[in-house]
Structure 1
Amino acid sequence: MTRLSRRRRLAAVAVIALFAAAGSACSSSAEGPTDGGAYLVWDPYPQFADDSEWVTLLKKCGTSAGVTVERTGYDTTDLTNKALLAAQQGNSPDVLIVDNPVISTLAEAGALTTTDETKLDVSGMEANLLSAGQRDGKTYGVPIGANTLALYYNKDVLTAAGVDPATIKDWTSLTTALTRVKAAGKKGITFSAIGTEEGSFQFLPWFWGSGAQLTSLDSAQAVSALTLWTDWLKQGHAPNSVINNTQTTSWQEFATGEYAFAENGTWQLANAEKLGFTYGIVPIPASAGGPAPAPTGGEFVSIPVQRNTGRYATSQKLVACLTSADNLLTTDSTLSYVAPVGAVQERQVAADPKLKVWVEAVRSAKGRTGDNLGTKYPKISEPLWTAVQAALSGGKSPREALTAAQAAATTR
């Protein structure tokens, strides 16, 4: 495409409202690459200092490629905005690591190279994880790892209620367990249904687990998923606080020891070890049984478009190093991610059997921008979380809320 048309596309895409789960504040600024030996890497891990394992790996990969790596860690949203601006100004970093839903935004803006252009091998990556970085048949990066959602449970609460977690295979058996827990005088399940992307993220396993599709928010299957959640509130199986809960505050509720279940992710594993009770994990069940497809979190390593295309060969070496099997194993342990490669996943489980359920959940997971939705996803997600809020608050029935959501998504 011409430079003018690419700049116009970048300017248009830059105004899209972006979403993502993220870390904390960011560090220093950085200028775009020159023709010198230093290669710039931008990542969404500002929590990692220069002496961390992550930065040590970046420098090691730079040494292997014969270059110096200069790394800057940004808050996720800040990183996305900076990446769009840098692409518009023609001074993008050599390697960019971003939250997987952002890939579609940057690809639509013409800011990223494809893996075919830069000869990146993605053949070993799990297809369901790779799909989050694909658009119109092209792949725009390599997943560095994934996290997703499952159900943590309090073993003491379930034992007192006479519930065997192994029996929880579908929505009926889960609701039966919640009924027994309530009868035993304990609380059922907590989750996040806040009116943000977190709310959509947590609702999607139930939405997809019903057989619903994001292109049809008002389907009978979608209504059944939202009815499940609203019925739980009406029956006292879930607290009214879920309407305002983030994933952090719902975890804090679970940590009190009063709840049988909490929907949350791999990122809580370290906190789970600090709980004052014995916990376990089961996959979120689909309506008719089996694990529900949960949305994937995690980042992609991509190579932005450069004026000097001669830099791509070295950038390719850096990305290949960062996503090699041995480095994925180390990095994903540090980030509490499940690796995007089957063989590495098996090594993770061998090292820590508690990861088995997470590997199973990731293998069933879906990218939010998958099914070629790309940048359409934010236009669907906001009406979806609005519908969840309306139904849980009692403002509308699940069918009314989702009918309004579909109408809103269609007109955006």
Structure 2
Amino acid sequence: MTFPSVRRGLTAATALTLTACLITACSSDSGGEKTQAATEYTVWDPYPQFDASSDWVKLLTTCGTDAGVTVKRTGYDTTDLTNKALLAAQQDNSPDVLIVDNPVVSTLAEAGVLTTTDEVKTDTSAISPNLLAAGQLGGKTYGVPIGANTLALYYNKKVLDAAKVDPATVKDWASLTAALDKVKAAGKKGITFSAIGTEEGSFQFLPWFWGSGANLTQLDSAQGVAALTLWTDWVKKGLAPNSVLNNTQTTSWQEFATGDFAFSENGTWQLANAKKTGFEYGIIPIPSQAGGTAPAPTGGEFVTAPVQSDTAKYATTQKLIACLTSADNALTTDTTLSYVAATDAVQQKQVAANPELKVWVEAVAAAKGRTSDDLGTKYPKISQPLWTAFQAALSGSKQPQQALTDAQSAAAK
């Protein structure tokens, strides 16, 4: 399990090009007929790592049997999956159920590929609104989240004990920075994170950006500058290593796993690796500037229903989606994927089974989708200038204010 957007990331330029092609019907092969039998329903997902023996594929088979149909499942890498979904829609050959990374939903919805949950009659009433928002565009909902992962701070108890830092005292930016100062004074390293110039870096910056009160529609606000200044000052003072400029979340984790760092910003997908470090660790939410839990971005997939020329199929599609996202099945699936469930009822079951997940449930409750606030397909055009800005500031080529002013100008274009 790795970072959702990078592990199965969408290439924005490719998606937009294919979207334009879809809208203008530029392919000559647009009259293809579906070849599947009426009793065979196709499911495409971004989990090529799961084979027929996996719990996930067994669940798909069971859901098909319960609905009275045979499920034909294909797993793709997300880049391939997004492109194939766009082209299949153009040829009227879409799968019946499509499971995609949450930032992709708005791209497919804008291109006219997906039905709404109202059309398929999918019940979303139990879904946490902040998670559901990642699949909404223009006031309509285009799918159901399987679950979510997000970011928090792992800490090394031995390092904090040596520096006489109680992790429970880390409640805001000031107390976190004070803790890092103590750790450095004790001869250890402070915090590691990913500030690489990709969507992965933006994903890691967003808790600090949103935690300042900043909004993605105004990158160079005073709040946004405060967030970037925080990161920049940590690197200048040696509280964070220069390697953050090139760190992915994987290499950042590898730094933390050496045992030299006090904190690591990372996700739920590192829980299994945390148990392998050989040292005692803990997890706390990422603090916002003024205190409380910062909104971190959500990762995870949505179960969607692509548009079909035969709308009579939607009734069975709805049964498949309801089965895949039911409380009992979601518990097993989210455990397999290291996700926090999308409903309160299943989250409570997860915490009862594994108390370590309590902090992650709290983090997910405060989290938000990158395409939320009705940003939709505008988000990639904002994220790239944002990562360009923090790369410039952390490398010292620009001051935080100038870096974000330039980023806002680029995003506005």
User: TM-score under structure 2 normalisation?
Assistant: 0.93
Give 1:11 deviation, angstroms. Answer: 4.0
Give 1:407 deviation, angstroms. Answer: 0.1
What is the CA deviation profile of residues 330-359 of structure 1, one whole-angstrom value per residue up to 9, with x for unaligned ones?
100000000000011011000000000000
Residue 296 (structure 1) aligns with = 298
Residue 170 (structure 1) aligns with = 172
Give 1:33 deviation, angstroms. Answer: 5.8
Residue 23 (structure 1) aligns with = none
Quote the Cα distance in structure 1 between the aligned partners of 2:18 and 2:279. Answer: 51
Give 1:364-375 correspondences, 5 Å limit.
364-375=366-377
Aligned partner letter, 1:212: A
Quote the Cα distance in structure 1 between the aligned partners of 2:117 and 2:239. Answer: 47
C-alpha spacing 1:316/1:296, structure 2 compared with 1 (3 Å): same
1:12 pairs with 20, 28, 33, which one?
20
Aligned partner letter, 2:280: T
Quote the Cα distance in structure 2 between the aligned partners of 1:378 and 1:224. Answer: 22
1:306 pairs with 305, 308, 311, which one?
308
- 1:390–1:401 Cα contact (<8 Å) kept: yes
Quote the Cα distance in structure 2 between the aligned partners of 1:317 and 1:244. Answer: 45
Residue 28 (structure 1) aligns with = none
Q: Which stretch shifts more, 83-92 or 332-341?
A: 83-92
Quote the Cα distance in structure 2 between the aligned partners of 1:374 and 1:40. Answer: 27
Give 1:88 deviation, angstroms. Answer: 1.2
User: Equivalent residue of 1:330, what SS?
Assistant: helix
Residue 350 (structure 2) aligns with = 348
1:262 pairs with 261, 264, 274, which one?
264
What is the CA deviation profile of residues 339-388 of structure 1, one whole-angstrom value per residue up to 9, with x for unaligned ones?
00001101100000000000000000000000000000000000000001
Give 1:76 deviation, angstroms. Answer: 1.1
Question: 1:44 aligned to 2:46?
Answer: yes
C-alpha spacing 1:183/1:11, structure 2 compared with 1 (3 Å): closer
User: How high is the sequence identity, in percent, across the aligned residues?
Assistant: 76
Q: Which stretch shifts more, 229-238 or 77-86?
A: 77-86
The alignment's C-alpha RMSD in Å is 1.4
Quote the Cα distance in structure 1 between the aligned partners of 2:22 and 2:350. Answer: 38
Q: Which stretch shifts more, 84-93 or 179-188?
A: 84-93
1:68 pairs with 62, 65, 70, which one?
70
- 2:22–2:90 Cα contact (<8 Å) kept: no
Question: 1:244 aligned to 2:246?
Answer: yes
Aligned partner letter, 2:147: G
- 1:10–1:111 Cα contact (<8 Å) kept: no
Give 1:133-172 correspondences, 5 Å limit.
133-172=135-174
Quote the Cα distance in structure 2 between the aligned partners of 1:74 and 1:266. Answer: 23
Number of residue pairs matched?
389
Quote the Cα distance in structure 1 between the aligned partners of 2:159 and 2:169. Answer: 15
1:283 pairs with 261, 282, 285, which one?
285
Residue 22 (structure 1) aligns with = none
User: Equivalent residue of 1:70, what SS?
Assistant: strand
Quote the Cα distance in structure 1 between the aligned partners of 2:333 and 2:205. Answer: 29
C-alpha spacing 1:405/1:32, structure 2 compared with 1 (3 Å): farther
Aligned partner letter, 2:232: T
Quote the Cα distance in structure 2 between the aligned partners of 1:197 and 1:110. Answer: 25
C-alpha spacing 1:14/1:358, structure 2 compared with 1 (3 Å): farther
What is the CA deviation profile of residues 258-285 of structure 1, one whole-angstrom value per residue up to 9, with x for unaligned ones?
0000000000011111011001000000
Quote the Cα distance in structure 1 between the aligned partners of 2:58 and 2:79. Answer: 24
- 1:33–1:92 Cα contact (<8 Å) kept: no
Runs of 4+ displaced beyond 6 Å: none
Quote the Cα distance in structure 1 between the aligned partners of 2:321 and 2:166. Answer: 45
Quote the Cα distance in structure 2 between the aligned partners of 1:154 and 1:73. Answer: 37
Aligned partner letter, 1:235: K
Quote the Cα distance in structure 2 between the aligned partners of 1:337 and 1:275. Answer: 21
Aligned partner letter, 1:57: L
Give 1:36 deviation, angstroms. Answer: 2.6
Give 1:101-140 correspondences, 5 Å limit.
101-140=103-142
Structure 2 residues without counterparts, runs of 5 or longer: 1-15, 24-32
Quote the Cα distance in structure 2 between the aligned partners of 1:327 and 1:398. Answer: 46
Give 1:214 deviation, angstroms. Answer: 0.2
Residue 218 (structure 2) aligns with = 216
Quote the Cα distance in structure 2 between the aligned partners of 1:265 and 1:58. Answer: 27
Aligned partner letter, 1:88: Q
What is the CA deviation profile of residues 264-308 of structure 1, one whole-angstrom value per residue up to 9, with x for unaligned ones?
000001111101100100000000000000000000000000111
Give 1:78 deviation, angstroms. Answer: 1.1
User: Equivalent residue of 1:101, what SS?
Assistant: helix
- 1:11–1:88 Cα contact (<8 Å) kept: no
